[in-house]
Amino acid sequence: MQREMKRWENIHLTGINRLPAHTNFYRYYNRENATTFNREKSIGYRLLDGVWKFLYVEAPELSPKGFETEEFAIEKLEDIEVPSSWQMKGYGHMHYTDVLYPFAINPPFVPQENPTGIYFRELVIDELSDEEVLIIKFNGVDSAFDLYVNGQHAGFSKASRLPSEFDITNFVKKGSNRITVRVYQFSDGTYLEDQDMWWLSGIFRSVELFTINKDTLQDVFVETLPGENYKNFTMKICGAFFTNCVKNLRGTLRYRNEKVDEFEINVVEGIFEFSRLVENPLLWNAEEPNLYTLEFEYELPTGETEIVPLRIGFRSIEIIENEIRVNGKRIFFNGVNRHDANPKTGRTVSYEDMLKDVKLMKQHNINAVRTAHYPNNDVFYDLCDEYGLYVIDEADLECHGFENTGNYNWISDNELWEKQYVDRAVRMVKRDRNHPSVIMWSLGNESGAGRNFTAMYNAIKTIDSTRLVHYEGDRVAAYSDVYTTMYTRLKPLEEIGRDAEGKKPHILCEYGHAMGNGPGGLTEYQQVMRKYPRLQGGFIWEWCDHGIETTNENGETIYLYGGDFGDFPTNGNFCIDGLVFPDKTPSPGLLEYKKVIEPIVTEEANLQEGKIRVKNLYDFRNLCGIDLLITVKSFDTLIEEKIIKLPSIDAQEEVELVLPVDLAKAAQYDDARIYLSYQESENTLYAEKGHEITKESFLLSSTKVKKTVKAAVSNGSDFSIEDEAAWLTIESNKIKAVFSKVFGTLKSFTVEGEKMIHKGPEVTLWRAIIDNDMYKKDDWINKYFLKNTKEQMGTVNYEMAEDYIDIEITKYLSTVNQAWGFHLTYNYRITKNGALNIDLKGRKVLRGKEIPEMLPRIGVTINLNQDYNHVTWYGRGDSESYQDTKRSQQIGLYSKTVEEMHTDYVYPQENGSRCDTSFLAVAKGEDMYLFNFKGEYDFTIHDYETSALEEAKHRGNIKKSSYNVLTIDYKQSGVGSNSCGEEQLPLYRVGVEDFHLQFEMRKIGKGNMVEESKFFTAR
């Protein structure tokens, strides 16, 4: 016998006494206040955020008797801040899952263990006139709640990330009133809210109180419909008042406070519909977010006048010839998925948090946001309107946990749940449909398929026919206006692009999983999506790491993730998957994404003649007037610097430019490079004048350094050699080198009495596991045992010459129970001047059937004197780079401390590589050692061992070593995004292959580094 549904389990109930959804707006008595859009200056407004009294119980049934009454004693209860989530305040349990429901699936029923928070607030109310009503608005409560006023039940609502309003006029009295809100962690709505995020509960968005006139404006909806050639637009206005007492409405359209138009609107029985032609308005798009103000003015029966201002944008969103078009132009999405996230307050985010997000997105060339996976705070859409971001507005709906039951469509295809699904869609659309930034509605995320999505689609189209509807789970695009997929690999994505005839346009609603070190391979995605007209871009998963801030035993800030709170089952650090760290610091992944999606592409046309090709990839913006800073450098020497204004280059057009630089002068230098920086010439909303939109650099090929051998005049004494059974010691008045004849390794290298090398070099095939290695690591560790590679000793031979000594050591490298491996030949040459030259050849040995398709890396590690803590390199920088994430990092001369070479990922992992490096130097004061490379290699240098990095699970917990660990890579595999997305592409994989590394270490004068890097002294 099935138990009776409780109110918070009743799928037939979406709310009690909740007012109809409507667009968000505020009412003002005068234009002066209306133009501020400041809610604090609006009529009858009161913010109820702040300290409330709070009682936490383990289940609703455990609520004290009479808790809702005025007589219930609350003085001794604890305080809680509203808005907030009670788990972030120490109540209940922090829990993170990606897919799993934290309870048994038995819809619509939830566990008896249903944590419940009861909030209390004393509210002093002035006497209301007969014309006034009092409305309380909850902008976000997770997951369902009952409202009581002075002991009377005043309302009930669910859908956590949508507002709920209640008319409490008849429940209040003059003077003190008791507001009581009982919030349930779990409800039937929880089955619709299984998003990839922390399970957080409570009143997490603002609570507002409105004293309004009973006859006032209830809702208004503005559509802008294009005319021929998108020159003129028809402004269609409809709406309603609470009563039929208001007969006339005046509309005024303004642009930047200048009146554009004025008109009268008739109101019939409280309802109005009106159309007006607007000639040649400035149009809204993400690149040119032109906003108008539409003011509605009306007189109430009391004789008072109210003004309601709205920001609107003239823009259309259509599918024409199977393309998504804004104002008739095809657009391309370079987007991100965004959760509400703050490391200190969880899902409670401030205006400053949202503003910072929007500015950072714009600064990094992002033009679109998917509100994954629920409607955001309404202020976020205001910011997107103002700053210019396309928005896919997503319903508060995800049923991911049902995927594991074998019946993914369990409730999505169940007509008993239709009302719940449709309610979430309609309330979202009615709240947000006046925002020009919202160009697409999303029915939700990862919830299977079924009839309820058809019902949502039809309900949305009934109330807003102007926008597109998206749902990725609709595999045949039956109730989706676009065809969307997620994490589609490159090859099938290209097939989608080719299969375009008569097909709906495609977007990747999620790709490029930005977890830890990554995502890599974004350039190839951009190339494929730009190649095929059907493919109109995508959205990186995701914007921000969901770390929870705390301090460790040393007082350092660290961030916690799933499992750190004893939560089980959990998806661990899978919530640490953003382009920005929890404190909104950009990660290397965001820097790379900014470059990959650059709106200005520069190519060589004929660089020897100074010609470049500039492509404008904006969809609307002309490049005219953008500053181009041209810098010509040779290493750290500035040859020339100029700034020019770009000419008129229309969107999607390209031109050839001749750079105004003295190429003949540049040709006299070595490694002359032209650096181009495209910068904003004026302040913008999101950045100051001089903000770099993108950058590019080119090497003048005729100036490329061809390193030579320059035998130095010997100033060292002859070598003495001590050849023992276990050791080979080579010594002069400049150096001392100790080799183990048992292990075949250089145990130490001392120069002028100072030990520079403590151990090495030794071949390594291993790197600390990155998140994007998660599906390879088991084979790497437990099948191929790559962490356990060992060099087996072969032979040691040496030979003296007049100015140097050669030592040849042969070895075999393999690992546990493997037949494949490498024959290694180390050739050391040590000169009397103290140079150490290393030539290492590796010859692959392919035996047996079990050979790894991909190795983490092939490189050598050397343990260096830790006092040499300052690093200068000529390669890519200054941030980290890997072979599939290096476009954002230009080749140049950079300097950092060893500590600064570390990228502080929330979950420690391989980091800090610098690609395509020609040389590096380490320094202590004025003393410097040069590592000069025969080719261009990648390197890392850290003050810890790889094993220490892997043992650490949080920032600040990496055990330091007593030396610096330098790793020089013949090759390191790219990073990919295979924690959820594409694997490392074949071009960026290291296999079991022959390799050759050659480099030289020698002491140099600090001021001579660049010149010294142009030659070798040993060979």
What are the catalytic residues? 446, 510
The helix, strand and coil proportions of the chain, stated in percent and rounded to the nearest 5, come to 15, 40, 45
947 CA to centre of own chain: 28
Distance from C-alpha of 595 to C-alpha of 600, rounded to nearest angstrom: 10
Burial group, residue 520, by CB count within 10 angstroms (0-12, 13-18, 19+)? buried
Asked if residue 326 lies in contact with residue 619, where contact means CB atoms within 8 angstroms, the answer is yes
- 3-state SS string for 698-709: EECHHHCCCCEE
Which helix (DSSP H) or strand (DSSP E) does residue 831 occupy?
Answer: strand 821-831
What would the DSSP string read from start to end of 962-1006? SEEEEEEEEEE-----TTTSPPPPGGG-B-S--EEEEEEEEEEEG
**Among candidate residues 449, 456, 336, the one with its CA nearest the CA of residue 392:** 336
β-partners of residue 393 are 441
- End-to-end Cα, the chain, rounded Å: 87
Tokens 């002491």 correspond to 1003
Measured at the CA of 147, the angle between CA 141 and CA 151, to 5 degrees, comes to: 155
Rounded (10°) angle between helices 490-498 and 522-531: 10
Identify the CA nearest to 794 among candidates 759, 743, 843, 830.
743
Task: Please name which of 62, 41, 112, 55 lies closest in space to residue 86, comparing C-alpha atoms.
Answer: 55
- Contact in structure between 236 and 197 (CB atoms under 8 Å): no
Give the span between the Cα atoms of 428 and 762, in whole angstroms: 60
Peptide bond just before 542 cis, omega within 30 deg: yes
- 498-to-522, 528, 530 alpha-carbon distances in Å: 20, 10, 12
Whether 407 contacts 356, CB under 8 Å = no
> What is the helix (H) or strand (E) element at residue 460, kind and residue range?
helix 451-463
3-class SS letters over 243-302: CCCCCEEEEEEEECCEEEEEEEEECECCEEEEEEEECCCCEECCCCECCEEEEEEEECCC
- Provide the residue type at 231 as one letter: K
Question: Residue 304's closest CA among 209, 208, 215?
Answer: 215
Angle between helices 378-387 and 418-432 (to 10 degrees): 50
User: 551, 540 in Cβ contact below 8 A?
Assistant: no
Beta strands in 400-450 (DSSP E): 438-442
Which amino acid is it at 576? Answer: I
> How far are the Cα atoms of 214, 224, 549, 657, 746 from residue 221, in angstroms, in the given order?
20, 10, 41, 48, 77
Residues in CB range of 134: below 8 A, 6 or more apart? 125, 128, 167, 168, 169, 172, 209, 210, 211
Contact residues for 170 (Cβ-Cβ < 8 A; gap 6+): none
Cross-strand pairs, 93: none
Decide: residue 573, CB within 10 A, 0-12 exposed, 13-18 middle, 19+ buried.
Answer: buried
Helix (H) or strand (E) holding 497: helix 490-498
